[in-house]
A and B are shown apart, each in its own frame.
Chain A
Amino acid sequence: MRETAVAVANIDSWLESFTEFEKRAAGRTLPWLHRLREDAFARFCEVGFPTTKDEDWRFTNVAGIAKTVFHSASTAKLAPGDSAAWRVDDVAATLVFINGHFDAELSEIGNLPKGVTVASLRERIESHPEEVEKHLGRYADTKRDAFVALNTAFIGDGAYVHVARGVVVEAPIYLLYLSTRENAATMTHPRNLIVAEDEAQIAVIEDYASVGGESVVLSNAVTELVAGESTVAQHYLIEREHLKAYNVSTLRIQQGRSANVASHSLLLGGGLVRNNVHPVLAGEGGECLINGLFLGTGTQHLDNFMHVEHASPHCGSRQFYNGILDGQAHGVFHGRIVVHKDAQKTDAKQTNRNLLLSDDAQIDTKPQLEIYADDVKCTHGATIGQIEENALFYLQSRGISEQEAKKLLLMAFAEECVERMQSSVARDHIQHLVSEHLLFTEGIVPVSSGERVTERVTGRVVEEVR
């Protein structure tokens, strides 16, 4: 056992959960899937939960997760009225998962263009295992990452989306994950597989929320998104669970030649959130946009861990993350860019901007460049500031109240990220959530002006341009 991880304390209860799960799991008779789960579980036991001594987890302590005994969440039914509030208009399809289980009644798959398959992963494993086998578990890293290993061990349900070559799906596919209030601590391991073949176009929204009150829950999601040659794909992650929720999500993107992929995220809820985004630009000429917004208050801990891998020449990546932190909230932005030896002419840029609204709010921002090619352009920058006093006074001097003026300025800061979202359906949904959130977030304290620029670089930096 490495010192950067702790032995899985309640190994017996994990083993019990896993054994129980395997008895009823989808595709349990498929040897490849059985092996995938078994290996992942073994790996999880071996790796253990990370500690803050692990550089990748330096700012985020998951001892709370490691100590808790989580039970697999059971299915639950929502009252029809309860689910209506969650609808997003103008989407191509809606898949609803209650406590991690697909709910066919609440879902609406409707008329999709020919060549588009949207189903629950469970169903697809059973009906078309060979299709699933081609991609499932091939990209997400179970070797180092305990949470991905755990998710892989518990692969049961989630979304399966496949878009055939050249097919364009304009409206986004909406995936809604609701957790209900339970009497014990529960866990779900949503697993999504999104495959867009060459020259296809797709947008998927993953939205995590809670209904019916608070109870301790671990949502540990993994999404593998495979984009073929010249494919255009957008992924949206929304976290708005209650404050007792632990949410760890991993988006692993595999990009083909000239593929154009965007990852957008919005973190509003959750007590402890870890948002892993790991694109691998595996084909030449790929473009990746990684755009996110996190708004924390109270004692929320919101960690954004970016790991952008340039594995081919002539690829571009753009990271933009904006954070607003109030109360005693703690935000993290860790932006790792790895440029492989052959990935010449890489153009990678990273920007993290933060507003701290209280003295106790905290942000750790850490760029990390590992560059093994010699002809690349990598830039990064981070700022930490407060609401600008000049701008606040300007708005107030026209009659807008201090509170309202602050909301406007925060909304404007958030808007920088919202504007980058290409799908108008997703953008409107997210804009609405952000403005509601700002409207009802209490306790914005008086501010002072000034901006601090911090920077910390680790790793090997061959060329760096500011």
Chain B
Amino acid sequence: MSLLEIRNLHVSVDGNEILKGIDLTVNAGEVHSIMGPNGSGKSTLAQVLARRDAYEVTEGSIALDGKDLLEMKPEEAACEGVFLAFQYPVEIPGIGNTYFLRSALNAQRRHRGLDEMDAMDFLPLFREKLKLLEMDDKLMNRSLNEGFSGGEKKRNEILQMAVLEPRLAILDETDSGLDIDALRIVAGGVNSLRSPERAMLVVTHYQRLLNYIVPDFVHVLVDGRIVRSGGKELALELEEKGYGWTETPQPVGARA
């Protein structure tokens, strides 16, 4: 059984069809990259996987480890192992970073029948991950993402991912707005989480991130459809030729 099976997925927002029949299979241990021009539906796909209800699925199915993902609320999907690193992480004044992350972890642990972690147990784990992302622990005493720079917010997303250890990690434009040092740190964090039990979906507009997070498969999304799939070299080809090139007819497949 595949970790993620998307079949003929059609998604609309306010009556406009954004995704027009996506097929995608992702197995445990694989890293897939979804590339495409702006407005092609990449972020929509990411948000639908995280179960944002503003997106209406009009047709098709998504199975996560054989379970119907479309039946799940966002928190249920998260508890089943879906993690979305947001393109625009939300600032929430008044909720502490550390408190938030421990609450999230404990909500997921409860779902899995594990004991909750108290602050004392949580701290060493948290410190270790902070080090991995080269983050200042002073940031963590602040409110969730409040006053964080763009790079700090993105690192905080990967920090959360490292603590929550998802089964399916979706990175939505995690590279946007990062300088090269921050990009290396973020990519290092992501790479440390690659494992045979985990799959990743890396959504990006540019090839740059894929120099650091090397995907097993690359899919090109244009106008709500996957128009090409291939190995990591497809990303380089895209970088060179641009997205216009993909619009010439090619055999389309869900998998390379």
Contacts and interface: CB of A to CB of B under 8 A. Distances in A.
A394 B104 contact: no
Interface in B52-97: 52, 54, 73-75, 77-79, 83-84, 86, 89-90, 92-95
A402 interface: yes
A399 interface: yes
Given A393-B52, A397-B50, A408-B103, A402 B94 contact: no
B90 A404 contact: no
Interface string A411-445: 11111100000000000000000000000000000
Contact of A394 (B90, B101, B164): B90
Contacts of B207: none
Contacts of B94: 411-416
A457 B51 CA distance: 43
A185 interface: no
A402 B51 CA distance: 13
A397 B79 CA distance: 9
A400 interface: yes
B200 to A, nearest CB: 16
Contacts, number: 75
B33 interface: no
A391 interface: yes
B51 to A, nearest CB: 8
Contacts of B74: 393, 396-397
Contacts of B86: 394, 397
Interface residues of A, number: 23
Chain B interface extent, by class? 20 to 34
B93 A400 contact: no
A397 B95 contact: no
Interface in A369-426: 389-391, 393-402, 404-405, 408-409, 411-416
A412 B92 contact: yes
30 contacts: A393-B50, A393-B52, A394-B86, A394-B89, A395-B104, A396-B75, A397-B50, A397-B78, A397-B84, A397-B86, A398-B75, A398-B78, A398-B83, A398-B101, A399-B78, A399-B107, A399-B108, A399-B111, A399-B164, A400-B75, A401-B75, A401-B107, A404-B103, A404-B107, A408-B100, A408-B103, A409-B95, A412-B94, A412-B143, A416-B94
Interface of B: 50-52, 54, 73-75, 77-79, 83-84, 86, 89-90, 92-95, 100-101, 103-105, 107-108, 111, 143, 160, 164
Q: Which 4 A-B pairs have the closest CB atoms?
A: A412-B94, A398-B104, A399-B78, A396-B74
